[in-house]
């Protein structure tokens, strides 16, 4: 199931070979269990120094917990979902991509009474809430929300941009259960000076230095108060996978996934734009003006990404599909966007020369992706491509190829194409 090239890259990237690199990552039965996604009934009998063979073999570590995902790296763990595995209205937990900047917390008590979230800074009264208190003090909401990494599509930037070489699959849509962030902020009482949030999680910096954060981003207070910004403890009706932030995370939909802090344990309400890890420099920032590919852009000309662009995927069929001429075939996919909602969806089978609108029912709530489908019959034998393009309510559509090169390769919302062999 695991992409062989991805597995090889893991070894190369760490210069240790798969076994050693995995040993760095995984220590103790709890970590093995998290990686495997299953309990190990005989864990106590596993000799010291042994790692489960399922993790030692040349399959991606942790990909055991998420079969079929492409492992981009294992320290930190990053894995994306091939588009054809995103063919559900709600992305199953074991198919939801993983983007880690540091090492997930291990050996920490994540029970509802033990885990705490602190709200402090520009508030009338700082709060320290357990998950039990979050659940009892605030109204529970259940929302279908997309999380997409700002670097999704980076792999297609030329010259190459450094960072994980995401293709199309650093995105998913799940049903999240939690409370509105605004309810919690209002319980703490926002002062007039509150302008921005700063998010903190329990994962650790790759260097092991406890004084450094793996990532600490934030959003303007208006976005934090938006009714779809939530603090979630469950994903598709189940506890979140460890890798996706168990036991508590933010979901700030429509904005880069990096705003949606995992393993959330503190929100610092700030009187200035948050300056935490990966808020400044080139991180999640774009040049303020279009630049020629490869240009060095001074830091003062970089602006932080907020709303994500209009985008869509073809999730069925898988690229390379074979069909018989004259036989009807289904085409399906998803469309989503940031703060400007999705308006319409079209597909093309003539390399973009002409487009036909497809059926796309409304989603359950704003910031969910919208599933679309069409039936196609291609009469003549040959090589075809299905191209898909979504348009938002401002009339902005997806470009045919990678738009606006930028130093870190963000915001690539080019059209998705799949190959279809008509026989």
Ligand X SMILES: Nc1nc2c(c(=O)[nH]1)N[C@H]1C(S)=C(S)[C@@H](COP(=O)(O)O)O[C@H]1N2
Nearest approach, Cβ of 173 to ligand X (angstroms)? Answer: 11
Q: Which is nearer to ligand X, 201 or 317 (CB)?
A: 201
* Total binding residues toward Mo ion, as defined by CB under 5 A: 4
Q: Which residues bind ligand X (CB under 6 A)?
A: 96-102, 147, 149, 201, 203, 214-215, 244-245, 257-258, 260-263
Neighbour-count burial of 161, counting CB atoms closer than 10 A to its CB (0-12 exposed, 13-18 middle, 19+ buried): buried
Rounded distance between C-alpha atoms, residue 157 and residue 294, angstroms: 10
Q: Among Mo ion, ligand X, none, what does residue 215 contact (CB within 5–8 Å per kind)? A: ligand X
Q: Among Mo ion, ligand X, none, what does residue 91 contact (CB within 5–8 Å per kind)? A: none
Q: Among Mo ion, ligand X, none, what does residue 100 contact (CB within 5–8 Å per kind)? A: ligand X
Q: Dihedral angle at the C-alpha atoms of 305, 80, 361, 332, nearest 10 degrees?
A: 130
Q: Determine the interface stretch with Mo ion among 54-62, 99-107, 265-273, 382-390 (rule: CB under 5 A).
A: 99-107
Q: Among ligand X, Mo ion, none, what does residue 335 contact (CB within 5–8 Å per kind)? A: none
Q: How many CA atoms within 13 Å lie on the side-chain side of 143?
A: 24
Which residue in the block uniquely carries the two structure tokens 């909401």?
141
Nearest approach, Cβ of 13 to Mo ion (angstroms)? Answer: 18
154 binds Mo ion (CB under 5 A): no
Nearest approach, Cβ of 149 to ligand X (angstroms)? Answer: 3
Nearest approach, Cβ of 109 to Mo ion (angstroms)? Answer: 27
Q: Determine the interface stretch with Mo ion among 93-101, 153-161, 237-245, 340-348 (rule: CB under 5 A).
A: 93-101
> What is the radius of gyration, based on Cα positions, of the chain?
22
149 binds Mo ion (CB under 5 A): yes
Tokens of residue 406, six digits: 């930028």
Q: Among Mo ion, ligand X, none, what does residue 231 contact (CB within 5–8 Å per kind)? A: none
Q: Among Mo ion, ligand X, none, what does residue 198 contact (CB within 5–8 Å per kind)? A: none
With contact defined as beta carbons under 8 Å apart, do 275 and 213 qualify?
A: no
With contact defined as beta carbons under 8 Å apart, do 95 and 160 qualify?
A: no
Nearest approach, Cβ of 419 to Mo ion (angstroms)? Answer: 28
In sequence order, what are the beta bridge partners of 386? 418
Nearest approach, Cβ of 111 to ligand X (angstroms)? Answer: 19
258 binds Mo ion (CB under 5 A): yes
CB count within 10 Å of CB 118 equals 16
Q: Among ligand X, Mo ion, none, what does residue 260 contact (CB within 5–8 Å per kind)? A: ligand X
Helix, strand, coil percentages, rounded to 5, for the chain? 15, 30, 50
Provide DSSP, 276-328. Answer: -TTSSTTTTEEESS---TT----GGGEEE--SPPPEEEEEESPTTEEE-TT-E
With contact defined as beta carbons under 8 Å apart, do 141 and 207 qualify?
A: no
Q: Which is nearer to ligand X, 283 or 374 (CB)?
A: 283
Q: Which is nearer to ligand X, 131 or 147 (CB)?
A: 147
Site map 215..254 versus Mo ion, x via CB under 5 A: ----------------------------------------
Of 326, 296, 318, nearest to 386 by C-alpha is 318
Using CB under 5 A as the criterion, which residues of the chain lie in contact with Mo ion when the complex forms?
A: 99, 149, 257-258
């Amino acid at each position: 199931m695991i992409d062989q090239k991805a597995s090889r890259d893991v070894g190369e990237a760490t210069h240790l070979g798969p076994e050693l690199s995995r040993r760095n990552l995984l220590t103790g039965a709890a970590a093995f269990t998290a990686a495997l996604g299953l309990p190990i009934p005989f864990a106590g009998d596993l000799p010291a120094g042994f790692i489960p063979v399922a993790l030692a073999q040349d399959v991606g570590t942790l990909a055991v917990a998420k079969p079929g995902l492409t492992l981009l790296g294992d320290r930190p763990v990053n894995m994306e979902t091939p588009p054809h595995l995103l063919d559900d209205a709600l992305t199953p937990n074991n198919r939801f991509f993983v983007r880690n900047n540091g090492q997930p917390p291990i050996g920490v008590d994540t029970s509802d009474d033990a885990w705490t979230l602190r709200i402090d800074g520009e508030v009338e009264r700082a709060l320290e809430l357990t998950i039990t208190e979050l659940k009892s003090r605030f109204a529970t909401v259940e929302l279908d929300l997309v999380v997409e990494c700002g670097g999704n599509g980076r792999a297609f930037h030329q010259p190459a941009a450094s960072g994980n070489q995401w293709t199309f699959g650093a995105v998913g849509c799940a049903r999240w259960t939690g409370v509105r962030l605004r309810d919690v902020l209002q319980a703490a009482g926002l002062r007039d000076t509150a302008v921005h949030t700063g998010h903190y999680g329990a994962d650790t910096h790759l260097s092991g230095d406890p004084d450094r954060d793996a990532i600490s981003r934030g959003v303007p207070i208006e976005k934090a108060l938006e009714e779809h910004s939530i603090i979630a403890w469950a994903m598709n009706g189940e506890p979140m996978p460890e890798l996706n932030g168990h036991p508590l995370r933010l979901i700030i939909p429509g904005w880069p996934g990096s705003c949606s802090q995992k393993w959330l344990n503190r929100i610092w309400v700030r009187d200035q734009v948050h300056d935490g890890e990966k808020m400044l420099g080139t991180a999640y920032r774009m040049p303020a003006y279009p630049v020629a590919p490869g240009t060095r852009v001074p830091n003062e000309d970089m602006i932080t990404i907020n709303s994500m662009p209009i985008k869509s995927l073809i999730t069925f069929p898988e690229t390379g599909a074979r069909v018989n001429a004259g036989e009807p075939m289904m085409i399906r996919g998803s469309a989503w966007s940031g703060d400007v909602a999705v308006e319409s969806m079209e597909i093309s089978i003539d390399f973009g020369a002409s487009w036909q609108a497809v059926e796309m029912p409304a989603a359950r709530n704003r910031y969910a992706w919208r599933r679309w489908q069409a039936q196609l019959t291609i009469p003549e034998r040959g090589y075809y491509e299905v191209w898909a393009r979504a348009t938002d309510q401002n009339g902005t559509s997806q470009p045919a190829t990678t738009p606006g090169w930028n130093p870190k390769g963000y915001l690539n919302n080019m059209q998705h194409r799949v190959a279809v062999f008509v026989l």
